[in-house]
């Protein structure tokens, strides 16, 4: 479908002038990322040179996208801002709250009933304030965005970390918290630390069973989960032009797993084909007029080391399929190394389930390749050794796939077709037997594989792979099976070998759909009333957080010292907790219940100052109500993963005064700042080890803040001794004003 063509034309009219001005300002050719960044800076800011990874810059994005789990809190905040309509194109997508259990026919009606209060709230707010609304079952937010809203050279923000998926169409698409989205929707500039640039040179062409997913799985192995922090990954080279637009999107999607601000690709013929196939011929025509502005300058591809902070080269022709996992998406191994991979966590090679879908791999192209391999398997007399579950990415994809015979083929294979929604990827999988907590291995085409994420079982070892390898895993039942050299035994007892399947980049007969699930906003929303039942368990109106009292912090007890990986899943779990995403008091009952206590190795068991053990949220409430608040201590890359701002709002609500860590993931650090929290790092990471169980803290220097300053942490130990540690901060003056006001939203409300 075609949306907002006038906005796109207006943006394209501005880009050439901005690009030329940036070339002159910087005195050199430009990467694609730089062209888009300078084209979206607020007026006047394009005359400044920014220091990568250090300077803050303000932008006007082209649009905002929100999924239903994060939209609740974002729109609860927006409705208090005093605006009659959003200031830029915005959309809400209902994809996160649908539990996958028995298939679409049963699961979707049940979700509609269970979540009707939330869906009613979101649809009403969307209708009132001029926001596009996509009904439950319409599809996964990022697939729907790619099909309808994404455009080359654009910039968008979204309240989901995998907003980055739209980089497959040459955008800068960036995941943010709800407060950032509110800034943009009320018409304020959106702030971002000016990113570093990582150039990833793709050469050659994929062969055998390798797929675009394997590109990003290898990149994750090379960069690790924090190697892309505060950086844009820009892919270039002849290999990029061999990848489809949806293949590029799969790669961009999992850029979130290396901490990248976003990922992008230069405009090419595959993007044009995709735009035309999805009903956006007019956008393709406009993009062709300024095509040079939507690509990196030729000099960049010729001598990338001059323009990027880091360059990685990958030869697609030698790339092999990967399995990444368990427990971390950067733990990547080609099949030839899987025997060694399984040893670290004593993972079983036996595959208990294979799953295809999520925003990463649910396109028509993905399903066509899966269908080709399944057809081949059936013809060779093969049956799966593990169950296969498939979530199509959108109703348009599902309808077209059904027309082309894919769905019948999947069912013949024994696959369960779930709703066009996130389902197991976000923990919404009512998996039979998961409560037994038995050790098992699964293979999925999703993007994350943290403990408990898919089915709530801490002993499920999840391995991320391509859709193709998910089918291979279902057929073989083993993580050790290599389709390029190993044989399977069919129903006649014969040894048969799989061959690389074919695929259709786009449907030969074109896309088709009866009801895409789109609902336009009301022409006049002024008379639409938004109400929230004060007794609701799902929704709760927000009360502004208190402003800073102007004093240093004194005598705040330790809440938890988190050890090792502490993602936003550990801080604010998804799965069954998703139903409380619009109710801050109730959702706060899951705060940090997945974090590992450094002193006892347990989760959700922390010692209070009375010597008793508590669940983390209960102890936080105790300290909050006592007036002391509390302090959270964390490890490296704290808050990696989802963009969910609940992981920042819950500590704020439960009285946490500061979160002090070795290092932060980008989105979570920003979310903490937006909610008026102190997000600080140990200047010397080794000082993390000074913190003991039962400690109390003072934080001095707050009253003399200046950007780039340091604070002093005084650590009072239970034995009467003390330690000190220097703390670093990354606040600019505007962010410090959020802290003083109590939150960024408080600052907006004040009109100052």
* pLDDT value of residue 752: 46
Catalytic entry in 644, 646, 668, 716 = 644
Integer-rounded Cα Rg, in Å, for the chain is: 25
Catalytic entry in 68, 95, 183, 330 = 95
Distance CA 94, CA 684 (A): 43
Distance CA 320, CA 482 (A): 10
Which one, of 151, 156, 236, lies nearest residue 200 by Cα? 236
- Write out the two tokens for 473: 């895993």
716 is catalytic: no
Residue with tokens 């694609």: 32
Q: From its phi and psi, is residue 208 left (phi > 0), alpha (psi between -120 and 50) or beta?
A: left
Domain boundaries defined on the chain:
5-48+61-317, 327-483, 553-750
662-706 tens-digit pLDDT: 999 988 999 999 999 999 999 999 999 999 999 999 999 999 999
Q: Which residues contact 246 (CB under 8 A, 6 or more apart)?
A: 146, 168, 274, 363, 364, 365, 366, 505
* pLDDT value of residue 642: 81
- Write out the two tokens for 21: 């001005």
Q: From its phi and psi, is residue 494 left (phi > 0), alpha (psi between -120 and 50) or beta?
A: beta
Which one, of 482, 513, 520, 477, lies nearest residue 498 by Cα? 482
Distance CA 678, CA 699 (A): 10
How would DSSP label each residue in 242-289?
A: GS-HHHHHHHHHGGGGGTBSEEEE---HHHHHHHHHTT-HHHHHHHHH
Residue with tokens 């199509």: 392
448 is catalytic: yes
Residue 701, Cβ neighbours under 10 Å: how many?
A: 16
Which one, of 505, 212, 209, 215, lies nearest residue 376 by Cα? 209
719 is catalytic: no
Catalytic entry in 96, 142, 162, 581 = 96
Task: Estimate to the nearest angstrom the gap between the alpha carbon of 638 and the chain centroid.
Answer: 15
Residue with tokens 């990471």: 685
* CATH fold match for the domains 5-48+61-317 and 327-483: yes
625 is catalytic: no
CATH fold of 553-750: Aconitase; domain 4 (3.20.19)
Whether the bond between 326 and the residue before it is cis, its omega within 30 degrees of 0, is yes
* pLDDT value of residue 155: 98
Distance CA 721, CA 702 (A): 23
Helix 666-674 vs helix 646-653: crossing angle, to nearest 10: 40
575-603 tens-digit pLDDT: 889 899 999 999 999 999 999 999 999 99
Catalytic entry in 62, 160, 297, 635 = 160
Q: Which CATH class is domain 327-483?
A: alpha beta
Distance CA 396, CA 514 (A): 8
Report the Cα–Cα distance between both ends of the chain, in Å, rounded. Answer: 40
Superfamily of domain 5-48+61-317: Aconitase, domain 3 (3.30.499.10)
Beta 696-700 vs 56-59: how paired, if at all?
unpaired
Q: Which residues contact 68 (CB under 8 A, 6 or more apart)?
A: 92, 93, 94, 95, 96, 97, 115, 118, 119, 122, 136
CA distances for 608 relative to 243, 555, 625, 661, 692, angstroms:
55, 14, 14, 20, 12
Catalytic entry in 40, 331, 398, 448 = 448
Which one, of 704, 703, 654, 656, lies nearest residue 679 by Cα? 656
Residue 577, Cβ neighbours under 10 Å: how many?
A: 17
- Write out the two tokens for 383: 């049956």
Instruction: Identify the burial level of 376 via C-beta atoms within 10 angstroms of its C-beta, where 0-12 means exposed, 13-18 middle and 19 or more buried.
Output: middle
96 is catalytic: yes
Give the ranges where 608-698 is alpha helix by DSSP (H). Answer: 616-626, 646-653, 666-674
Contact between residue 467 and residue 374 where contact means Cβ atoms under 8 Å apart: no
Contact between residue 267 and residue 170 where contact means Cβ atoms under 8 Å apart: yes
The helix or strand, by DSSP H or E, that contains position 58, with its residue range, turns out to be strand 56-59
Cα dihedral sign for 408, 411, 415, 418? Answer: positive
Distance CA 581, CA 71 (A): 9
pLDDT-flagged residues of the chain (< 70): 751-752
Catalytic entry in 211, 642, 643, 743 = 642
Residue with tokens 């005093």: 82
């Amino acid at each position: 479908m075609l949306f907002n063509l006038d906005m796109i034309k207006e943006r394209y009219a501005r880009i050439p002038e901005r690009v030329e001005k940036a070339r002159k300002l910087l005195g050199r050719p430009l990467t694609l990322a730089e062209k888009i960044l300078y084209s979206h800076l607020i007026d006047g800011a394009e005359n400044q040179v920014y220091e990568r990874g250090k300077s803050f810059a303000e932008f006007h994005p082209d649009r905002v996208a929100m999924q239903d789990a994060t939209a609740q809190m974002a729109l609860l905040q927006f409705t208090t801002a005093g605006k009659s309509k959003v200031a830029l194109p915005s959309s809400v997508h209902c994809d996160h709250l649908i539990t996958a259990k028995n298939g679409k026919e049963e699961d979707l009606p049940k979700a509609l009933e269970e979540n009707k209060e939330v869906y009613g709230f979101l649809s009403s707010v969307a209708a009132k304030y001029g926001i596009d609304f996509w009904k439950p079952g319409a599809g996964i937010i990022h697939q729907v965005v790619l099909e309808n809203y994404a455009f080359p050279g654009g910039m968008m923000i979204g309240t989901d970390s995998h907003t980055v998926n739209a980089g497959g169409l040459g955008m800068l698409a960036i995941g943010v918290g709800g407060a950032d989205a509110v800034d943009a929707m009320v018409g304020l500039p959106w702030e971002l630390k000016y990113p570093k640039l990582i150039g990833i040179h793709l050469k050659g062409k994929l062969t055998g069973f390798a797929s675009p997913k394997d590109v990003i799985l290898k990149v994750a192995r090379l960069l690790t989960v924090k190697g892309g922090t505060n950086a844009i990954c820009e892919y270039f080279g002849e290999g990029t032009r061999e990848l489809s637009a949806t293949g590029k999107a799969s790669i961009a999607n999992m850029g979130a797993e290396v901490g990248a601000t976003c990922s992008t690709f230069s405009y090419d013929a595959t993007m044009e084909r995709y735009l035309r196939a999805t009903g956006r011929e007019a956008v393709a025509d406009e993009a062709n007029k300024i095509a040079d502005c939507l690509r990196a300058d030729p000099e960049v591809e010729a001598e990338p080391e001059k323009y990027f902070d880091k360059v990685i080269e990958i030869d697609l022709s030698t790339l092999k399929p990967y399995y990444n996992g368990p427990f971390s998406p950067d733990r990547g191994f080609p099949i030839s190394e899987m025997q060694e991979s399984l040893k670290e966590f004593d993972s079983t090679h036996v595959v208990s389930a294979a799953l295809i879908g999520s925003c990463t791999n649910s396109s028509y192209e993905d399903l066509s390749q899966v269908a080709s391999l399944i057809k081949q398997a059936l013809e060779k007399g093969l049956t799966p050794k593990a169950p296969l579950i498939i979530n199509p990415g959108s109703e348009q994809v599902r309808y077209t796939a059904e027309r082309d015979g894919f769905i019948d083929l999947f069912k013949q294979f024994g696959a369960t077709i779930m709703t066009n929604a996130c389902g197991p990827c976000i923990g919404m999988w009512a998996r039979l037997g998961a409560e037994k907590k038995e050790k098992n291995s699964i293979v999925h085409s999703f993007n994350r594989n943290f403990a408990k994420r898919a089915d709530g079982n801490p002993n499920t070892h999840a391995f991320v792979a391509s859709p193709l390898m998910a089918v291979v895993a279902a057929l073989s039942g083993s993580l050790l099976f290599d389709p390029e050299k190993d044989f399977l035994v069919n129903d006649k007892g014969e040894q048969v070998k799989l061959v690389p399947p074919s695929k259709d980049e786009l449907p030969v007969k074109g896309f088709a759909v009866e009801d895409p699930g789109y609902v336009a906003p009301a022409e006049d929303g002024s008379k639409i009333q938004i109400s929230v039942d004060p007794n609701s368990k799902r929704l709760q109106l927000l009360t502004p957080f208190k402003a800073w009292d102007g004093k240093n912090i004194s005598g705040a007890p330790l809440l938890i010292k988190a050890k090792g990986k502490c993602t936003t899943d550990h801080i604010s779990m998804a799965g069954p907790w998703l139903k409380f995403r619009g109710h801050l008091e109730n959702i706060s009952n899951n705060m940090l219940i997945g974090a590992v206590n450094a002193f006892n190795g347990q989760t959700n068991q922390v010692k209070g100052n009375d010597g008793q053990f508590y669940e983390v949220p209960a102890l936080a409430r105790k300290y909050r109500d006592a007036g002391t608040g509390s302090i959270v201590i964390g490890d490296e890359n704290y808050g990696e993963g989802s963009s969910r701002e609940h992981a920042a709002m819950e500590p704020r609500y439960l009285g946490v005064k500061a979160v002090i860590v070795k290092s932060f993931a980008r989105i979570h650090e920003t979310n903490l700042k937006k909610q008026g929290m102190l997000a600080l790092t140990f200047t010397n990471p080794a000082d993390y080890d000074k913190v003991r169980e039962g400690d109390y803290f003072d934080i001095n220097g707050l009253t003399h803040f200046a950007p780039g300053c340091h604070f002093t942490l005084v650590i009072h130990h239970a034995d009467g001794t003390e330690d000190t540690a220097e703390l670093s901060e990354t606040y600019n003056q505007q962010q410090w004003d959020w802290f003083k006001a109590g939150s960024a939203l408080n600052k907006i409300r004040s009109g100052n």
